[in-house]
Structure formats: C-alpha cells, structure tokens
C-alpha cells in the first residue's frame, strides 16, 4: 500500500522529483485539460510499467532503454490515436503535448527505477501512485490558474464557481502564470515539508 | 551472460547471444508498431461514423448519405436521403485558402440549392479575428440563402463579414457559393 501512496505525496513527481514539468505548465489552463492529460499519462505509465515488469527478466542490458522507449512510445501513439478519434476537441486543445507524453520523464523514470526490478502488482501500484500524484498537482494548478485568470471555474463548461467584482489576472492563463503558480506551490510544499521534518526531529 | 567489455565499453557476447538480443529488440519493435495500427482500425471506424453524423446534420431530415464519386474515386459531394429513400438534399465538404492556410468546411443544401447547414471543420486563421468564422453568429447567416445571396454585404450579398477578418469571411463565403454552384450544375 505504501508503494501506491509514495508517488502521491512523499515522492510527488512534480514537487519532489521535479519531473514532467513542461506538460504541467502547458496544459493547465482549464481543469478538463489537466484531467485529460492526467488520463493520458496514467494510461501510458500504468500499462508500460506492467509490461516492463512482465518482460524485465528477458531483456538483455544493452537493449533495456531502447525496449522501454519502444513500449512507452507505442502506448503514447495508441492514446494519441484514441484522442484524435474519440475526443477531437481535446486532441486539438492538448496539441503537441499529447504526443510528448512519450518523453514524460516520470514514465521512463518509473519504468527504469522500479518496474524493471519488481513484480507486476507492485509495479502497477507504484506507477499508479505517481500518475495520481502528477494528476492531482496539474489539476490543482489548473484550478488556480483558471480561477485567478478568468474569475470562475468551469467543469465541462458548467460554471461551478464565480468570484464577482474580481478583475481576472490575464497573465495567469498565459505561460508566465503557469510558472508562477507552480513556483509558488512548490515553495509552499517545500516549506511544509521542511516544517514537518523539523517537528518530527524535535519529537525525537 | 558475460560481463566483460571490449575496448569500446560494449559488452562481449557470443554470436548466438547477439542474434538473440537483436531478435528480442526486433520483436518488441514489431509489436510496438503493430499495436497502434490495430487501434487505428477501430479509431478509423469512429472517425468515419463521426463524419457521417456530421454530414447528416447538414441536411435536416436526412438519414443516409451516398457519395457521388469523381474520376479518381473521390467524393465530389453526397446525396442525402431521408428514411423513406427520397432525396432531400446535398452535402459536401470543401477546402479553401483563407488568410493563414486552408479552411475546411462541411455544408448542406436542400433541393432548391438553399443552404441548410454549414460547419467549419478546421482552420488556422488569426485567433479572435479570422478564427471567428467558426462561431454560430457568423455561420448562422448562411442558412436559408441561395447562391445569389452568398456574398458579403459589401458586395451586394447577405453575409455580414467579421470585422477585421475580411479575407477569412470572403473565403468561406466564396467556398460555399462555388461548391453549391458546382453541385447545381451537375444535378440540374
């Protein structure tokens, strides 16, 4: 169970490992974009980790990385085809960042660091944990950006929340807003992490 | 497997081991190439179904569309039939050059060659200007018009172009007018 939760909080891929940042910045303008991206990443990372774990004993060392890349890229291609056919609007919105899931460091990172050395169930749980960790962070970033950048939050075009008398900060939905939000959040998380480490040290 | 390296740092292995290794990589590559191709087959079905639904939406009351093929087996336009098999209109896709690149759209007319539907499929016009051709405020204007009115108001027609986006507006209007005329000539 710890295998699963590790990637969600303690070793969160974006805040702690600082991986997968570029898509975190690019697609977080609306909540549903972040969720779609999270879905794509989850699909690729879980299945690739499962496959890597299954074949790990049969891959000679020299072709290890090449094999992992083939698996990951093939899965990414599949999800791209899926999006193009079944959700063309989201496919156009995500644009180039959907195929770029193939080079998302989180995916190859977990395949290399964990799935290649563990059995299938822990590998699946591990990758799922990191996928959840990635998804909740980009969802949070997109909520903040959308709220501060447009004054309201919409889920599938249904308005959930609106702040009146609020002049939207336009830069929030542009790239600087993404860097800003992620930076502030990272700082906040690091601060909380440090405080927790200090207080647990004091208790001992 | 041996853990020795040659002078380049590459592992030493027997010819047999090398062939097995290459074979494994080739197998993975093969599967990796075939799997997306299989998914593409299913995706294609979905895309075709989506296109069909779109074409049907262009002429209200239509239930099936039948392509009218040209010399190279491409669909020039489609005949739209209702559920009892009667011809109710024509549907078409066409592409025209806008300001920044091709604009592709789909449209439909009834048997009097009046527009019954139009939708922009793809475009790369200027955002907030030419890109507004996709908005209903612009496309709604086309419905009910016959080709003699398919012109911008500045040229005597009934289409109000988008302010600041004359090229894009003209392109779409011209595309509709010319394609409908083409169909009229073929079917009259």
Alpha helices in A87-113 (DSSP H): 88-94, 105-113
CA-only gyration radius of chain A, Å: 18
- Residues of B with CB below 8 A from A67's CB? 24-25, 28
For the stretch A66-113, pLDDT in tens is 999 999 999 999 999 999 999 888 888 888 888 888 988 889 988 888
Q: Which of B17, B39, B50 sits opposite A82 (nearest CB)?
A: B39
Mutate: best of A62, A91, A173, partner B, most B CBs <10 A: A62
Angle at A167 between CA A163 and CA A170, to 5 degrees: 110
What whole-number distance in Å separates Cα of residue A71 and Cα of residue B62? 45
Walk along chain B (188 residues) and give the pLDDT tens digit of each residue.
556 777 777 777 888 888 999 999 999 999 999 999 999 999 999 988 888 898 999 998 888 888 888 888 888 899 999 989 899 999 999 999 988 889 989 999 999 999 999 998 888 888 778 888 888 888 899 999 998 888 888 888 888 988 888 999 999 999 999 999 999 998 87
Whether A57 has its CB under 8 Å from any CB of chain B: the answer is no
Contact assignment for B33 to A58 by CB distance below 8 Å: no
Whether A89 has its CB under 8 Å from any CB of chain B: the answer is no
Can you give the residue ranges of every domain in chain A? Answer: 2-203
Whether B187 has its CB under 8 Å from any CB of chain A: the answer is no
- Residues of A with CB below 8 A from B25's CB? 63, 66-67
Distance linking the first and last C-alpha atoms of chain B: 78
Whether B181 has its CB under 8 Å from any CB of chain A: the answer is no
* Per-residue DSSP letter, B11: B
Whether A63 has its CB under 8 Å from any CB of chain B: the answer is yes
What whole-number distance in Å separates Cα of residue B2 and Cα of residue A189? 47
What whole-number distance in Å separates Cα of residue B51 and Cα of residue A109? 40
CA-closest candidate to residue A167, choices A146, A142, A184, A148: A148
pLDDT at A164: 65
């Amino acid at each position: 169970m710890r295998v699963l939760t590790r990637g969600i909080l303690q070793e969160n891929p974006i805040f702690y490992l600082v991986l997968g940042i570029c898509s975190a910045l690019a697609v977080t303008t609306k909540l549903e974009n972040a969720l779609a991206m999270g879905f794509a990443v989850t699909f690729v990372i879980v299945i690739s980790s499962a496959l890597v774990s299954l074949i790990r004993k049969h891959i000679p060392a020299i072709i290890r990385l090449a094999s992992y890349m083939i698996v990951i890229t093939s899965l990414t291609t599949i999800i791209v085809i899926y999006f193009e056919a079944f959700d063309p609007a989201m496919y156009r919105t995500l644009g180039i960042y959907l195929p770029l899931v193939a080079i998302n460091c989180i995916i190859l990172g977990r395949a290399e660091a964990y799935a290649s050395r563990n059995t299938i169930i822990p590998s699946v749980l591990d990758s799922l944990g990191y996928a959840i960790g990635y998804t909740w962070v980009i969802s949070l970033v997109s909520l903040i950006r959308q709220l501060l950048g447009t004054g309201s939050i919409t889920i599938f075009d249904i308005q959930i929340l609106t702040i009146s008398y609020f002049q939207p900060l336009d830069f929030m939905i542009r790239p600087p807003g993404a860097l800003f939000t992620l930076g502030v959040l990272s700082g906040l998380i690091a601060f909380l992490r440090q405080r927790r480490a200090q207080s647990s040290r004091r208790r001992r | 497997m041996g853990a020795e390296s040659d002078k380049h740092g590459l592992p030493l292995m027997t010819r047999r081991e090398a062939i097995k290794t290459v074979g494994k990589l080739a197998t993975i590559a093969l599967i990796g190439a075939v799997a997306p191709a299989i998914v593409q087959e299913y995706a294609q079905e979905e895309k075709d179904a989506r296109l069909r639904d779109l074409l049907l939406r262009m002429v209200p009351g239509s239930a099936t569309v039948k392509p009218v093929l040209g010399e190279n087996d491409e669909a020039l336009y489609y005949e739209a039939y209702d559920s009892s098999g009667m011809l109710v209109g024509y549907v078409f896709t066409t592409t025209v050059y806008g300001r920044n690149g091709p604009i592709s759209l789909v449209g439909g007319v009834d048997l009097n060659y009046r527009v019954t539907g139009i939708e922009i499929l793809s475009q790369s016009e200027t955002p907030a200007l030419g890109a507004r051709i996709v908005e209903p405020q612009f496309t709604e204007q086309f419905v009910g018009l016959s080709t003699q009115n398919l012109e911008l108001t500045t040229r005597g027609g009934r289409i109000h172009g988008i302010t600041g986006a004359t090229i894009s507006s003209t392109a779409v209007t011209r595309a509709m007018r010319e394609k409908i005329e083409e169909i009229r000539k073929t079917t009259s």
